[in-house]
Amino acid sequence: MKKDIHPKYYKKAAVKCGCGNQFTVGSTKEKLEIEVCGACHPFFTGKEKLLDTAGRVEKFKTRAAKAKKK
């Protein structure tokens, strides 16, 4: 490896999440602030919600029902 071209590596970089969870990781930055972590992400907590934008689910269901009738 060439000297003086790589960023400094912090073995215990502090990570702070928006939910209040704190942990340490290895990083090239000493402190990290994130919005979502594994403790508060809906996929990992089981609180995942289906967002229905502009009634797309209902539109699909009506088209599927019409297709079944034919």
Residue-level pLDDT at 50 = 62
Residue 37 marked in a binding site? yes
List the structure tokens of 31.
């402190």
pTM across the whole model: 0.55
Residue 46 marked in a binding site? no
Distance in angstroms (rounded) separating the CA atoms of residues 10 and 27: 5
Given pLDDT bands bounded at 50, 70 and 90, which one contains residue 2?
confident
Residue 40 marked in a binding site? yes
Residue 5 marked in a binding site? no
Q: What are the structural domains of the chain? A: 10-69 (4.10.80.400)
pLDDT digits (tens, 9 = 90+) for 24-44: 999 999 999 988 888 887 776
Distance in angstroms (rounded) separating the CA atoms of residues 35 and 12: 19
Mean pLDDT of the chain: 84
List the structure tokens of 67.
């297709």
Could you tell me the strand order of the sheet in which 10-17 lies? 22-27, 10-17, 31-34
pLDDT at residue 11 tops 70: yes
